[in-house]
A and B are shown apart, each in its own frame.
Chain A
Amino acid sequence: MIKRNTILKNIKKVSLIAFSSIALISCSDDDDAPEEQNEEEVITTVIVKLTPEAGGTAVTLMSKDDDGADGPNAPVITVENLAANTIYNGTITLLNETESPAEDITLEVAEEDDDHQFFYAVSGAISNTEYTDMDEDGNPVGITFTLSTTDAGAATLGVTLRHEPKKPNDGTLTDAGGATDVEQTFSVTVE
């Protein structure tokens, strides 16, 4: 009987504690602001610079998305016209412009080039692209490349950056796998 009473008392104590803890927690006003969070290694800008092999003015294709993948705004794409039947030397640059000065993400890609690869898809008046760089294992990376145009007309250049793709691969995205960091298509006019 004594035991039973003790248990009962304990129960009462527990309920009391429970009641008061609820009251306490409810009253405690921990309005400390949570820490701000930015997507890591965000890429805001993709710039493709195409310089005619034979010399001349470089052409710039740019896609810029200031609010990232979570933001509603679509990337703003600006392009310039290409010349017909020309071979261009291309370089691609990725920037994080949420930081000041802008961070050059391409450097990171170059540093970990065995874990990255750019894939280029062409159509219309652009006939093909070819890799002009490789990683230490001799596999293509795609920070630099050449691009050839045909006769005048409409064309598209698709750019995809895969992180940790299978290397070597057969040049298709399906075979390469990995995670997509960048996927943009530029519609251009070849004149």
Chain B
Amino acid sequence: MRHTLTILCILVCQSFVFAQDCNNILLGEIIDFHDKTPLADAIIQVKGNKEQVYSDEFGKFTIKNLCNGSIELEISHPECSTRFIMVEINGNTHKKITLEHHLEELNEVKVIGSTINKTNSAQEKTLKTEQLERFGSSNLGDALKQINGVSSLNTGSNIVKPVIQGLSGSRVLILNNGTRMQDMEWGAEHAPNIDINAANKVTIVKGSAALQYGGDAIGGIILLDQNRIPKKDTIYGKTLVNGVSNGQGGNISTELTKAYENGFYVKGQASYKKLGDVEAPDYVLSNTGVSQFGASINFGKLGFESGWSAYYSYFDTNIGILSASHIGNVDDLITAINSDEPSKISDFTYDIKEPRQNVKHHLGKLKYYKRFEGLGKLNIQYDIQQNHRFEYDIRVGDDKGKASLDLKLTTQTLAADINIDAFEKQKFSFGILGRYQENFPNPETGVRRLIPDYEKVDFGVFATTEYKFSDATTLDAGIRYDYSKIDAQKFYITSRWEERGYDEDYSDIVVSDRSTQLLTNPKFSYHNFSASAGLKHRFSNENQFRFNYSLAQRAPNPSELFSDGLHHSAARIELGDLRIKSETSHRLSLSLGKDTYTWGYEVSPYYNLISDFILLEPTGVEFSLRGAFPVWEYRQTDARLLGVDASIYNNWTNNWRTDHKFSIVKGKDRTKNEALINIPSARLQNQITFAKQEWNNFNISLQSEYVFKQNEYIDNIMVYSPQQDQEVELDINTPPSAYHLLKLDSEMKFDLKNTKALTVGLGINNLLNTEYRDYLNRQRYFTDDLGRSFTLRLKLNY
């Protein structure tokens, strides 16, 4: 025993002594040799040491625990040639390093934009690979909630739609590897068909300032990108395994890249996820399992002056919808809202029964680029996607197992853009795009089509510029025009046609009268304009200021125009309106921030004025022989969103850090002078992290998340309850109470032989097993949200 103690003492004392001598910090700053702009995402490695650090968005990095003396740094940046420099460490040291940054376009792998920042003046944030990997067994929506100002609209825990500063659905564009996803984002229970394991980094641009990607991103843009592939002979990969206690499943994901000196590369990736029924603190949420498969392959040749790449990805998901949320009519809904527990609780199972969804998404892309000396770079891209969506309801008899909804959406896009960067102070970008989309609702379902047959053609053209006014100030501006034409063939029940008043306004689009139904041919065109202007300024005290104004217009989606009838999976009647026109957003945003080694902050207020804002809200009930069903109608109003995302962090010591984030958004219907429906609650996040590099990169963090009660909401509706034979209040809009969740996460990384590494992580979500319901979860009427869950993750890099 005494020996052990002695040895322990020697070890501890030694490390103490060692730490004493080598406790210096190198604070570095990486800037472009030419224009002195900071370079983010550079990789800095001390020679003879495996540890790598990355420069932040201000080009800064820190390396801790250095001994006095000279060290050699290897600095590589995806857009620059690698540089080796000697640095003399003498106490805490500061070093400015310049890199030749003009290789970027020569070495292009990435699709569009730049890794440094997607925009000059908009509010934006990026999640890196390590942050995404923690959500490997979860989904994109949950991962994005790490970004301040991003929340989610859920249908259970597997259907998670990102909400950016209060806006979601068609107002949030998702670019998967440079291709705009066309996956029926219009439905509240349609999650993005994205495998989070296929992305290496995800950037959110809040608002519509990034015009090159689309003019209708009134909420924002989510960009999923791949890491750059080095131009050298190499092969590397990683495999991740996650085990999750709540749901008793997990996922496995693997990725392999082979690259050659001549620029050729091939990268493959696949992942599989399986979870059974998840659990609330007190009961099983029956039929909430999920199984998901995703795979992608990417190859190409990246030359000095030109290059090409091909990409294909496949995504297939099968999601169970909570049994208890399958309700028959309004009385069932009233019963469900008034009861504390879901009506159906069964034993845990991996089986996924009806109601359920199955979605398959194929995406193929070809890209070619060529650089013209003294001008800039031309990109041409063609992509094709098919989104095939099935929704299975509980059906009986001959229809058992037959889908109630079967939609096949096929989209092809051809786009070209040219980036002119030959001028020293000013950059230009011009682009043009054509898109053709076809929707086919399969009539075999035996259920009237919720979304009709349609063909849609889009055409877009944009021009943007960035002007470097001074070393500290950069201005940007851009304009965009989009034309969109939709040509649908839709059956209306004659009584609905008349109830909507279409017989007066749209009698000319009736093709034929089939007694109880009318076949119509709605053809609508939309001309949308968008624009953006802003500036970024860096003060000498390292504060950075960004201001942006954006104008955006969005054409109504097929759901907003054509929905009509009983949506079986939601047990509600949804009514679109042919009269709906484009909505227009004027958005002002400011951002003031600072990012230093010791501390940093960011305050980003915004004001979004949206005229003809399209929303869906409950308006009453309709009766049929099957009972009464709640009616949800689309309407347009003038809306206003006002909010702020604020964050601050502090490194108290080398090992202790705290992070604090707060976001709030207030939505108002300016026409009716009342609240807007489905605006996320205010949210406060506090996190404390302990990290120690010497202990195999050990870090542990405890996160507290307090979600306030949404106290601005629209009135409940009065409905006639056949069962109670009287008018009763349908408590469909009252938000649930505030809640507080704790989350623990820890990680260690072990270096293995031959540059291999094993990372082990353990996480606990909802540590205290708190019972809660969230305002933006459509299943809040029926059940509590998820209880405690342990996650174990293993990552092997090779």
Chain A positions near chain B (C-beta within 8 angstroms): 4, 7-8, 11, 14-15, 18-19, 21-22, 25-26, 31, 33-40, 43-44, 46, 63, 65-75, 98, 112, 115, 123, 156, 158, 163-164, 174, 178-185, 187
**Which chain A positions have C-beta within 8 A of B519?**
33-34, 36
Which residue from chain B places its CB closest to the CB of A40 in the assembled complex?
B446
- Report yes or no: A69 in contact with B516, Cβ–Cβ below 8 A: no
How many Å lie between the Cα of A65 and that of B495 in the bound state? 11
- Report yes or no: B301 in contact with A7, Cβ–Cβ below 8 A: yes
Whether B334 sits at the interface, judged by CB under 8 Å, is no
Whether B448 sits at the interface, judged by CB under 8 Å, is yes
Whether B744 sits at the interface, judged by CB under 8 Å, is no
Known contacts: A26-B457, A71-B496. The answer to whether A183 contacts B489 by CB under 8 A is no
**Which chain A positions have C-beta within 8 A of B366?**
11, 14-15, 18
**Which chain A positions have C-beta within 8 A of B395?**
179
Neighbour of A70 across the interface among B328, B414, B493, CB < 8 A:
B493
* Contacts A/B (CB < 8 Å), 29 sampled: A8-B308, A11-B368, A18-B412, A22-B436, A25-B438, A31-B489, A34-B441, A34-B519, A37-B443, A37-B491, A38-B517, A65-B624, A68-B624, A69-B625, A69-B626, A70-B493, A74-B623, A75-B625, A98-B516, A115-B396, A156-B725, A163-B397, A174-B343, A179-B395, A180-B329, A182-B626, A183-B328, A183-B329, A187-B725
- Report yes or no: A164 in contact with B448, Cβ–Cβ below 8 A: no
**Which chain A positions have C-beta within 8 A of B565?**
69-70
Neighbour of A180 across the interface among B436, B448, B626, CB < 8 A:
B626
Whether B622 sits at the interface, judged by CB under 8 Å, is yes
- Report yes or no: A67 in contact with B516, Cβ–Cβ below 8 A: yes
**Which chain A positions have C-beta within 8 A of B622?**
72, 74
A115 to chain B, nearest CB (A): 7
**Which chain B positions have C-beta within 8 A of A7?**
301, 308
- Report yes or no: A72 in contact with B396, Cβ–Cβ below 8 A: no
Chain B positions near chain A (C-beta within 8 angstroms): 301, 303, 306, 308, 328-329, 343, 366, 368, 380, 382, 394-397, 399, 412, 414, 434, 436, 438, 441, 443, 446-449, 452-453, 457, 489, 491, 493-496, 499, 511-512, 514, 516-517, 519, 521, 564-566, 573, 622-627, 629, 722-723, 725
- Report yes or no: A34 in contact with B564, Cβ–Cβ below 8 A: no
Which residue from chain A places its CB closest to the CB of B521 in the assembled complex?
A31
- Report yes or no: B624 in contact with A75, Cβ–Cβ below 8 A: yes
- Report yes or no: B382 in contact with A14, Cβ–Cβ below 8 A: yes
A-B complex: 10 closest residue pairs judged by Cβ atoms: A70-B565, A74-B623, A183-B627, A18-B382, A72-B499, A69-B624, A180-B328, A67-B495, A164-B396, A163-B396
- Report yes or no: B380 in contact with A15, Cβ–Cβ below 8 A: yes
How many Å lie between the Cα of A37 and that of B453 in the bound state? 13
**Which chain A positions have C-beta within 8 A of B396?**
115, 163-164, 178-179
- Report yes or no: A19 in contact with B308, Cβ–Cβ below 8 A: no
Which residue from chain A places its CB closest to the CB of B621 in the assembled complex?
A74
**Which chain A positions have C-beta within 8 A of B493?**
67-68, 70-71
**Which chain B positions have C-beta within 8 A of A39?**
446-448
- Report yes or no: B328 in contact with A179, Cβ–Cβ below 8 A: yes
**Which chain B positions have C-beta within 8 A of A38?**
448, 516-517
**Which chain B positions have C-beta within 8 A of A70?**
448, 493, 496, 564-566, 573
Which residue from chain B places its CB closest to the CB of A24 in the assembled complex?
B436
Neighbour of B624 across the interface among A40, A71, A174, CB < 8 A:
A71
A185 to chain B, nearest CB (A): 5
- Report yes or no: B722 in contact with A183, Cβ–Cβ below 8 A: yes
**Which chain B positions have C-beta within 8 A of A46?**
625
**Which chain B positions have C-beta within 8 A of A31?**
489, 521
How many Å lie between the Cα of A185 and that of B76 in the bound state? 75
**Which chain A positions have C-beta within 8 A of B441?**
34
**Which chain A positions have C-beta within 8 A of B496?**
67, 70-72
How many Å lie between the Cα of A75 and that of B412 in the bound state? 45
Given contacts A34-B489, A65-B623, 5 further A-B contacts (CB under 8 A): A8-B308, A15-B414, A18-B412, A65-B625, A69-B626
**Which chain B positions have C-beta within 8 A of A115?**
396-397
A132 to chain B, nearest CB (A): 24
How many Å lie between the Cα of A63 and that of B628 in the bound state? 14
- Report yes or no: B623 in contact with A25, Cβ–Cβ below 8 A: no
Neighbour of A34 across the interface among B329, B443, B624, B725, CB < 8 A:
B443
- Of the listed residues A31, A66, A73, the one surrounded by the most CB atoms of chain B closer than 10 A to its CB is A73
**Which chain B positions have C-beta within 8 A of A74?**
622-624
Neighbour of B306 across the interface among A8, A19, A63, CB < 8 A:
A8
How many Å lie between the Cα of A26 and that of B449 in the bound state? 24
Neighbour of B625 across the interface among A18, A40, A123, A184, CB < 8 A:
A184
Which residue from chain A places its CB closest to the CB of B517 in the assembled complex?
A36
How many Å lie between the Cα of A66 and that of B395 in the bound state? 22
Known contacts: A34-B443, A74-B622, A183-B329. The answer to whether A26 contacts B627 by CB under 8 A is no
How many Å lie between the Cα of A98 and that of B448 in the bound state? 15
How many Å lie between the Cα of A35 and that of B448 in the bound state? 11
Neighbour of A33 across the interface among B447, B489, B566, CB < 8 A:
B489
- Report yes or no: A33 in contact with B511, Cβ–Cβ below 8 A: yes
- Of the listed residues B343, B446, B623, the one surrounded by the most CB atoms of chain A closer than 10 A to its CB is B623
Known contacts: A7-B301, A37-B443, A185-B722. The answer to whether A66 contacts B457 by CB under 8 A is no
Known contacts: A98-B516, A174-B343, A180-B328. The answer to whether A34 contacts B623 by CB under 8 A is no
Which residue from chain A places its CB closest to the CB of B493 in the assembled complex?
A71
Which residue from chain B places its CB closest to the CB of A183 in the assembled complex?
B627
- Report yes or no: A37 in contact with B495, Cβ–Cβ below 8 A: no
- Of the listed residues B397, B453, B722, the one surrounded by the most CB atoms of chain A closer than 10 A to its CB is B397
- Report yes or no: A36 in contact with B725, Cβ–Cβ below 8 A: no
Which residue from chain A places its CB closest to the CB of B721 in the assembled complex?
A185
How many Å lie between the Cα of A182 and that of B329 in the bound state? 11
How many Å lie between the Cα of A22 and that of B514 in the bound state? 34
B553 to chain A, nearest CB (A): 23
- Report yes or no: A182 in contact with B306, Cβ–Cβ below 8 A: no
**Which chain A positions have C-beta within 8 A of B446?**
37, 39-40
**Which chain A positions have C-beta within 8 A of B722?**
158, 183-185
Which residue from chain A places its CB closest to the CB of B400 in the assembled complex?
A164
How many Å lie between the Cα of A18 and that of B499 in the bound state? 44
- Report yes or no: B368 in contact with A21, Cβ–Cβ below 8 A: no
- Report yes or no: B443 in contact with A35, Cβ–Cβ below 8 A: yes
Known contacts: A11-B308, A11-B368, A15-B380. The answer to whether A72 contacts B495 by CB under 8 A is yes
Known contacts: A18-B382, A26-B436. The answer to whether A44 contacts B625 by CB under 8 A is yes
A101 to chain B, nearest CB (A): 15
